[in-house]
A and B are shown apart, each in its own frame.
Chain A
Amino acid sequence: DIQMTQFPSTLSASVGDRVTITCRASQNMGTWLAWYQQKPGKAPKLLIYKASSLESGVPSRFSGSGSETEFTLTISSLQPDDFATYYCQEYNTYSRTFGQGTKVEIK
């Protein structure tokens, strides 16, 4: 089975900080990777697909990069609305595994 490992699991940051979250795959994913944002009690929201394509309506401070086994989600200048948990998800296999999540907290 494929493993998707996100790190860090928790990140403390301040408004205005540049934040980077990493997702590592146990096998080559190409660029078949998506990123989601989830706030407490809410459904996940798609941010990025195909590793680096920004979903319509998502602010440009969010960006994705990477390929094969290592991927990153970057928030260029953290805003108050961005404190949430972020998940990566591969879609190279039928099981479409998620990472375990990274919680971005207020420092």
Chain B
Amino acid sequence: EVQLVESGGGLVQPGGSLRLSCAASQFTFSDYYMSWVRQAPGKGLEWVANINQDGNEESYVDSVKGRFTISRDNAKNSLYLQMNSLRAEDTAVYYCARDWVGYLNSPYYFDSWGQGTLVTVSS
């Protein structure tokens, strides 16, 4: 069974930084696109960023461009999200999710999810 375990969440002041990690197991990590998806308290789901299998193509939702960086280490089966210049509106549970890819290696839907890690941005 696919396992995705996030870590690194916590309380951070506005303008601060945080790095999330996701440890993957029970599948060939380097074969898959990976994403971060977040959920603000009591709200819906929002895709944040994804990265291709080799780690050389990244995409971001507009609201985090220039502030967040997604990366991966295939040797360590790990996904990361470096979050800088954090704002109150970034407060959310952040999920690591495996992408199912389709035509022309495009990411489609999320077929496996971690349990999430809570990031709270507050003074």
The secondary structure that dominates the B interface is strand
Asked if A43 contacts B115 (CB within 8 A), the reply is yes
Say how far B108's CB is from chain A's closest CB, in angstroms.
4
Q: Is the CB of A99 within 8 A of B44?
A: yes
Q: Does A62 contact B (CB under 8 A)?
A: no
- Which residues of chain A have C-beta atoms less than 8 A from B109's C-beta? 34, 46, 49, 89, 91, 96
A98-B107 contact, Cβ under 8 Å, with A43-B116, A45-B113, A49-B100: no
CB-contact partner of A44 in B45, B106, B107, B108, under 8 A: B45
> CA A62 – CA B3 in complex, angstroms?
25
Within 8 A of B (CB), among A2-59: 32, 34, 36, 38, 42-46, 49, 55
- Bound-complex Cα distance A32 to B59 (A): 19
The one of B46, B59, B102, B116 in contact with A94, judged by C-beta atoms closer than 8 angstroms, is: B59
Min Cβ gap B82→A in Å is: 21
A-B contacts counted at CB < 8 A amount to 52
**Nearest chain A CB to B99 CB, angstrom units:** 9
B110 within 8 A of A: yes
Nearest CB on B from A43, distance (A): 4
Chain B residues, CB < 8 A from A95: 47, 61
B55 is an interface residue with CB less than 8 A from chain A: no
Interface membership of A101, Cβ < 8 A: yes
Encode B95-123 as 1/0 by CB contact (under 8 A) with A. Answer: 10000101000111111111110000000
Given A34-B108, A49-B111, 5 further pairs, Cβ under 8 A = A38-B45, A44-B110, A45-B113, A46-B109, A46-B112
Closest 7 pairs between A and B when the two form their complex, measured CB to CB? A43-B113, A34-B109, A98-B45, A91-B108, A96-B47, A100-B44, A101-B44
Using a CB–CB cutoff of 8 Å, the interface residues on chain A facing chain B are 32, 34, 36, 38, 42-46, 49, 55, 87, 89, 91, 94-101
